[in-house]
Structure 1
Amino acid sequence: MSHVMAGEAATQILKDWNVDHIYGMPGDSINEFVEYLRQEKNEIDFIQVRHEEVGALAASAYAKLTGNIGACLSIGGPGAIHLLNGLYDAKADGAPVLVLAGQVPTTEIGMDAFQEVDLTRLFDDVAVFNQRVPTPDSFPKLLNQAIRSAYTYNGVAVLVLPDNITSHMVKEETEQTSSIYSVPMSRPADSDVKRAVTSIENATRPVILAGNGTKKARQELEKFAEKIKAPIIFTLPSKGVLADTHPYNLGQLGDLGTKPAYHAVQDADILIMIGTSYPYRDYLPESTPAIQIDNNPDVIGKRYPVHIGLAGDTGETLTLLLEEIQTNSNSEFLNHSQREKMKWDRHLEEVVNNSKEPLKAPYVISQLSQVIEDHATVSVDVGNVTVWMARYFPFTHHKFVISSWMATMGCGLPGAIAGKLAYPDRQSIAVCGDGGFSMIMHDFLTALKYELPIMVVILNNSQIAMITSEQEEAGNPSYETNLENMDFALFAEACGGVGYRVDHYKEVSSVFEKASKEVKPVIVDVRIKDEKAQPGHTHQYE
């Protein structure tokens, strides 16, 4: 039996699982493995980030965008600690991510060595798989199991790797493992399907609340909605499953949602939750009968008292319902919801037209949408910018990515970097507030280093505006939410990129047109007047 280095066997495992790039920062306790990655640089790209948090956020975004595992690495101690924010984002949003965290040599573990941290304890809460590699022989086998676990549980898999492990000879036994992952296609019990069919057929005001679980069942969802004559409301992370302009799409629910969506849910006589465990109870009705479809039985009824649960694959379950259910001939409620959505759209158009001078976010976003291609990746940061993009950017076939449940500021730029690596022939846009972008702005240099022509649009109001609103809603004056003014266009140029600054509405269209044609990373710093992001259902219009 032939022998190879443990690091060589492990990189082969990565290639077998189609891991073609990894984000990270080299350093003393991971350098031995980085050398094996260098030897495989034609097949596994190493993306050197300026901060490990950005690497973890990018790995998480890549997994969300593609469904493929994202990978990141770090040294032990401070580098591994830096990863945590991005890893919790992956955990919260159910994204498969692999972590290779360096550690002091096995001979020094437990001896308070330089930068030694108990890493398995550190990662215990965030990981679905969390092991320290004990021997060189176990490295490739544990790596294989880590990747499999990340896919199985849609979460973070961590291998803590003492630096002396990789450069030992091991038996070449990779044929005893497999990189094949078989996805189960579960289906609900027939009795539950029959009960659901009866409930839906007896309803006159059905409403669908669709989540991430519908991303791979777009056609089934559309056919189902058409058959039962139900409007669809999408959760934020599932935005783009169907185009915002689709006649059955009422938009989002919640603070960043639409008024028609809010009232449709409140008026429904049956709520059909598909692929979502929607967490905001205040926006759901008090006691409307509900059906929940999810491939994870653990979340059925977790946040809303559903009366029928359908535990199964979304596409498979919708197909079963389509086969059994009768076409609804009553479209009165659907037609009413569509008329209300048309009123909402006209209202948004009026808001845009009144947002020109002083310059406000709705107008900026309406102009941005004119230069963004239909299949672009759009990475949105957290804050008021989330509301503005959800409300005023018309998503069609775009790839949308955000930190949803963790809602961590600073996710916009890493998402755009990941989007360009995932889909190099498509536009990749980050839309950020000045607060979120300034948290990770150093990694604009990463886009430059790897020649990733992304566009970063910064809605710059010189404050953390959403926190200002939260403080004032609590009855307190705003405190320490103002930010120092910075010219991000000059920053872009100092980095070697392209920068544009926009101060007036007359400049917006032409600048976006120029920026969209740049072949280098570009920042568009748009100075806007702060405006409170009101929940959709509080808007007043005719």
Structure 2
Amino acid sequence: MATTVGDYVLQRLREWGVEQVFAYPGDGINGIVTAFGRADNKPTFIQARHEEMAAFSAVGYAKFSGKVGVCMATSGPGAIHLLNGLYDAKLDHVPVVAIVGQTARSAMGGSYQQEVDLQALFKDVASEYLVEVNVAEQLPNAIDRAIRTALASRAPTTVIIPADLQEEKYTPPQHAFKHVPSSAPDPLADHQPMLVAPEAEIARAAEILNAGEKVAILVGQGARSAAAEVRQVAELTGAGVAKALLGKDVLPDDLPYVTGAIGLLGTRPSYELMRDCDTLLIVGSNFPYSQFLPALDQARAIQIDIDGRFIGLRYPTEVNLIGDAKATLQALLPKLSRHDDRDWHDTVTANVRRWWETMEREAAVAADPINPMRIVSELSERIPGNAIVTADSGSAANWYARNLRIREEIRGSLSGTLATMGPGVPYAIGAKFAHPDRPVIALVGDGAMQMNGMAELITIARYRELWSDQRCVICVFHNNDLNQVTWELRAMGGAPKFEQSQSLPDVDYAAFARSIGLNAMTVTDPEGLGPAWDQALSGARPTVLDVHCDPEVPPIPPHATFEQIKSAAQAVLKGDPDALHLVFEGLKTKAQEALPGRKS
């Protein structure tokens, strides 16, 4: 039985089935840290190198496990450091609970060391549930509500516990006035309601889909549980299926009508699908870039979402079905008739086939020293069927979005909405704790590695023995450039690369990895890429692939506007460093779209 408040916090987490807490210690949580020792480190205290990384690891764990992720930090600076990771959870709708220390109650309001107004600080990011516990009797209800709310709202929540309270004797709530008891934890319960939209609205949606001649479907992460039903709708209606970035792993890319990612990091067939469709079904997606959807008066549209707050935000939808995607599609399917005219279906599949042929040719274009597209293309050819892939923000996200071919059981994610730098490696750590028996691959730019990824390699080295399958491959796109911003400056701002802002110091990532006991390979020859992936994916311990790649291979999408291309050209003319090489690589790459069957 718990003797202190700190003991009880861990006891309640165990009752909820929490197996690890991603954290960094500090005196504001000393009472809980010492309780870990008395509890034989159950749940396991996973020490990140930085509190932000602890939060990102919790987000990665929650994304890939479907369970709540828990992170913990001390008062003041520790709490502040959690915020970026918690905002990542908030914007990507991920259940994470943060347990945060606070200065002793006797010192509150006295400008004490590390005293920060945590309730004001967390008010926005933990808007679904935020509580400061000031007496032991609050605890069961506070922890239970934080976890239940995180799961039900798919959002971060926060429990603040002052340092002196953590060391006091735990006393449970009584059957008394102004005491708030709580029911027992229910870790196996489904906290998402199986809501189904009204029958009349489902019938209206069916009428629209049956009348459509060129149906497009857009899926996001909210469609993940309804993958089988989405496939049935697509096959009945002859639709193409585009995927928002967080929905990349909803359907496999080997389905002939799956057009791939949509938007700034998207594919040409997804662009063509939206450009030419007359009917649009949006399932579980809050895709923000309306300019990549059909023209506003072009398509009759239907949206399905569990959360009515996100209905009708991006496109003038005619029918809005508020309900669980799987249950709602199951109710819709019997009302759909098969489209016998397959001209639209054939057009979509032909576009998809040409796209993948183009991607193969673009990946094969010679670069100096390695084409970054080839890095992901070689991975796609040999990726294990049960792998989990994380990607960091930056140009690495482009290659993940466009070039990685997802198969049936492969999972993948990145910071989709906040698009923050830095979560690639800690996401991978969270994924390994969610599925210690599955290989995990992180695709990370050298900017993100220098920001915090290198430090988290130390965390991987420390905890790898806890994973039954130690394959955790960190692939570094080593180009000494903050590449995505460089291209944004060129394509959107018409400005040349500003070296002082964009160039990175050269670092030997493989040498660093070897120095802490990890496997590592440096790849500077494109012919060595395939063997390097083979070795890394068959290895018995985590591996860093330090791949030297060309920063001048353009990540501009194949449907880039004339203005973007013109701006990039003007940037070169203004004196962009290595301008001739930039133009040469861009022309070679773009030429593959017009030269079917040829390789450079």
Superposed counterparts of 1:182-261, under 5 Å: 182-261=191-270
CA distance in 2 between partners of 1:322 and 1:144 (Å): 38
Instruction: After TM superposition, give the deviation of residue 172 of structure 1 in Å.
Output: 4.3
CA distance in 1 between partners of 2:120 and 2:333 (Å): 47
CA distance in 1 between partners of 2:110 and 2:308 (Å): 44
What do residues 449-478 of structure 1 show as CA deviations (whole Å, max 9, x unaligned)?
A: 112632110011100011111112212222
Match of 1:414 in 2: 426
| Alignment counterpart, residue 444 of structure 2, candidates 406, 410, 432 | 432
The structure richer in helix per residue is 2
Match of 2:584 in 1: none
1:308 maps onto 2:319 in alignment: yes
What do residues 19-63 of structure 1 show as CA deviations (whole Å, max 9, x unaligned)?
A: 110111111110111122233345311100110111001101111
Superposed counterparts of 1:25-40, under 5 Å: 25-40=24-39
Structure 1 counterpart of 2:309, one-letter code: D
Instruction: After TM superposition, give the deviation of residue 173 of structure 1 in Å.
Output: 5.6
SS at match of 1:164: helix
SS at match of 1:72: strand
Deviates more, 1:344-353 or 1:361-370: 361-370
Tell me the TM-score normalised to structure 2 length.
Answer: 0.87
Closer, same or farther in 2 for the Cα pair 1:43/1:34, shift >3 Å? same
Instruction: After TM superposition, give the deviation of residue 191 of structure 1 in Å.
Output: 1.7
CA distance in 1 between partners of 2:449 and 2:255 (Å): 32
1:535 maps onto 2:527 in alignment: no
Superposed counterparts of 1:461-472, under 5 Å: 461-472=479-490
Structure 2 counterpart of 1:195, one-letter code: R
SS at match of 1:201: helix
CA distance in 1 between partners of 2:520 and 2:357 (Å): 34
Question: Do the aligned partners of 2:360 and 2:377 also contact (CA within 8 Å) in 1?
Answer: no
CA distance in 2 between partners of 1:390 and 1:302 (Å): 24
| Alignment counterpart, residue 460 of structure 1, candidates 478, 495, 512 | 478
Structure 1 counterpart of 2:434, one-letter code: A
Match of 2:496 in 1: 477
CA distance in 1 between partners of 2:332 and 2:558 (Å): 32
CA distance in 1 between partners of 2:477 and 2:111 (Å): 46
1:179 maps onto 2:198 in alignment: no
Question: Do the aligned partners of 2:137 and 2:172 also contact (CA within 8 Å) in 1?
Answer: no
Structure 2 counterpart of 1:58, one-letter code: S
Superposed counterparts of 1:43-122, under 5 Å: 43-122=42-121
SS at match of 1:73: strand
Question: Do the aligned partners of 1:6 and 1:169 also contact (CA within 8 Å) in 2?
Answer: yes
What do residues 190-233 of structure 1 show as CA deviations (whole Å, max 9, x unaligned)?
A: 22111111111111001100111111111111111112221111
Instruction: After TM superposition, give the deviation of residue 351 of structure 1 in Å.
Output: 1.2
Structure 2 counterpart of 1:165, one-letter code: L
**Matched positions, count:** 541
Match of 2:146 in 1: 146
SS at match of 2:75: coil
Structure 1 counterpart of 2:83, one-letter code: L
Instruction: After TM superposition, give the deviation of residue 10 of structure 1 in Å.
Output: 2.2
| Structure 2 gap segments, 5+ residues each | 175-180, 561-589
Question: Do the aligned partners of 1:357 and 1:504 also contact (CA within 8 Å) in 2?
Answer: no
SS at match of 2:45: strand
CA distance in 1 between partners of 2:143 and 2:132 (Å): 11
1:445 maps onto 2:458 in alignment: yes
What do residues 227-272 of structure 1 show as CA deviations (whole Å, max 9, x unaligned)?
A: 2221111111111211111122111111221111111111111111
Question: Do the aligned partners of 1:6 and 1:140 also contact (CA within 8 Å) in 2?
Answer: no
CA distance in 2 between partners of 1:279 and 1:499 (Å): 38
Tell me the TM-score normalised to structure 1 length.
Answer: 0.97
Instruction: After TM superposition, give the deviation of residue 176 of structure 1 in Å.
Output: 4.1
Backbone CA RMSD of aligned residues = 1.7
1:275 maps onto 2:284 in alignment: yes
Instruction: After TM superposition, give the deviation of residue 357 of structure 1 in Å.
Output: 5.7
Structure 1 counterpart of 2:559, one-letter code: H
SS at match of 2:441: strand
Structure 2 counterpart of 1:455, one-letter code: V
| Alignment counterpart, residue 275 of structure 2, candidates 266, 272, 292 | 266
Structure 1 counterpart of 2:415, one-letter code: S
Percent identity between matched residues is 32
Instruction: After TM superposition, give the deviation of residue 5 of structure 1 in Å.
Output: 2.6
Structure 2 counterpart of 1:486, one-letter code: V
| Structure 1 gap segments, 5+ residues each | none
Instruction: After TM superposition, give the deviation of residue 304 of structure 1 in Å.
Output: 1.3
| Alignment counterpart, residue 401 of structure 1, candidates 399, 408, 413 | 413
CA distance in 2 between partners of 1:188 and 1:506 (Å): 54
Match of 2:356 in 1: 345
